[in-house]
A = this chain, B = another copy of it.
């Protein structure tokens, strides 16, 4: 009989991650009357430092309001715990008498749960609930946070395409995504017709070649009079080196403690602007870095995404007595369902966009890719076709 739950959030916030916190909290309060649900502030760091809020002291009205708020209400962290850090987390969990720890996040977060499970020596349940706009978790059809972020990107490209019909040119939108191109591909979800942008989609799963890029842009300009490009910040060359590494002068590159190069920011956009200015001199070309705008955008929260995020949290708590695991959103052919999978099936792994979501040898989505987007991102707007 679980009496104390600890809930934490890890990695980048999303538009709906607070739904998962509240789904877990309300499910615990329903199943285990009188239980305590503690929210750790700034993820495992809060557990290590003994910083908690008591979520079970809040009313359902207060909790529902937090659920509807983008961002990570408990705060987040990018700490990757080593053995010593894990010992401190375990100590912190024992100090509050935790029976179960629900950690909400992406593959790093599921990895943390696997490490803690191995270090715990039993007596405590470690659950991972999925969250990532990157949509890159194994075992999942899609992940909470992706649909809302995808709707922001789809709506933005639909809008900028209409803008560039009126004042033609080349437009490149740089979208978050280090290893997986799903969010960048979402730019194509709401294309009006074959004329519509994005006309070219560059994702980390396909090698980028400068000469080929320029050829494709020229061909698109010849065909449509404008060229809209959706590009992942993580696009790489044939050797797997990110474009930022290959195009940005080394002294301008920024790396984190793990040696990962910083991809967000304007570096890639700047490099692409230079390429276009050099290879397509005189051609009007504009580059925007979407960066943080899709991640937790309050204007594009999807009700489906919100509901699935809430359900994932509730399912994590409902599954506690089955033992450690990771909640996965799977598609049963008709609808999305929550299933409990092994932590190790998700921990530290990355799901890439299936190769057949792009046309063979082309930087355009295939019927399979568009069908996936249609299922997850049904068209929300039906604009008229412009005269130009």
* A interface residues, Cβ below 8 angstroms from B: 9, 12-13, 15, 39, 41-42, 53, 62, 65-66, 68-78, 151-152, 155-156, 158-160, 162-163, 165-167, 171, 252, 254, 264-267, 269-270, 273-274, 277, 286-293, 295-300, 381, 383-384, 386-388
| Cβ-defined contact, B300 with A78, below 8 A | no
Cα–Cα, bound, A70→B162 (Å): 7
Cα–Cα, bound, A64→B292 (Å): 34
Choose among B76, B159, B292 the residue that contacts A286 (Cβ–Cβ < 8 A). B292
Cα–Cα, bound, A69→B163 (Å): 11
| Cβ-defined contact, A166 with B387, below 8 A | no
Q: How far is the CB of A90 from chain B (nearest CB, A)?
A: 23
- 5 A-B pairs closest in CB distance: A71-B162, A75-B388, A288-B291, A72-B166, A69-B383
Choose among B62, B66, B265, B299 the residue that contacts A273 (Cβ–Cβ < 8 A). B265
| Cβ-defined contact, B39 with A387, below 8 A | yes
Cα–Cα, bound, A296→B381 (Å): 14
| Cβ-defined contact, A73 with B386, below 8 A | yes
| Cβ-defined contact, B298 with A299, below 8 A | no
Cα–Cα, bound, A116→B72 (Å): 56
Q: How far is the CB of A44 from chain B (nearest CB, A)?
A: 14
Residues of B within 8 A of A69 (CB): 162, 383-384, 386
| Cβ-defined contact, A266 with B270, below 8 A | yes
| Cβ-defined contact, A265 with B286, below 8 A | yes
| Cβ-defined contact, A289 with B289, below 8 A | yes
Choose among B12, B165, B297 the residue that contacts A167 (Cβ–Cβ < 8 A). B12
| Cβ-defined contact, A292 with B39, below 8 A | no
Cα–Cα, bound, A269→B264 (Å): 12
Q: How far is the CB of A273 from chain B (nearest CB, A)?
A: 6
| Cβ-defined contact, A41 with B270, below 8 A | no
Closest to A78 in B: B167
Contacts A53-B387, A289-B269, A299-B155 given; does A13 touch B65 at CB 8 Å: no
Cα–Cα, bound, A75→B164 (Å): 9
Cα–Cα, bound, A243→B19 (Å): 42
Known interface pairs A65-B384, A159-B293, A286-B291; 6 further A-B residue pairs with C-beta atoms within 8 A, sorted by A's residue number? A66-B386, A68-B383, A69-B386, A156-B299, A286-B292, A298-B381
Cα–Cα, bound, A277→B265 (Å): 12
Closest to A252 in B: B274
Cα–Cα, bound, A388→B8 (Å): 13
Cα–Cα, bound, A283→B166 (Å): 41
Closest to A264 in B: B286
Choose among B13, B77, B160, B270 the residue that contacts A292 (Cβ–Cβ < 8 A). B160
Residues of B within 8 A of A74 (CB): 166, 386-388
Cα–Cα, bound, A102→B290 (Å): 36
15 A-B contact pairs sorted by A residue (CB < 8 Å): A12-B163, A13-B162, A13-B167, A41-B387, A71-B163, A73-B386, A159-B292, A159-B296, A163-B292, A254-B277, A265-B273, A266-B269, A266-B289, A269-B289, A287-B289
Residues of B within 8 A of A265 (CB): 269, 273, 286-287
| Cβ-defined contact, B75 with A165, below 8 A | yes
Residues of B within 8 A of A72 (CB): 163, 166-167, 386
Residues of B within 8 A of A152 (CB): 299
Contacts A152-B299, A266-B269 given; does A171 touch B292 at CB 8 Å: yes
Contacts A69-B162, A293-B160 given; does A155 touch B298 at CB 8 Å: yes
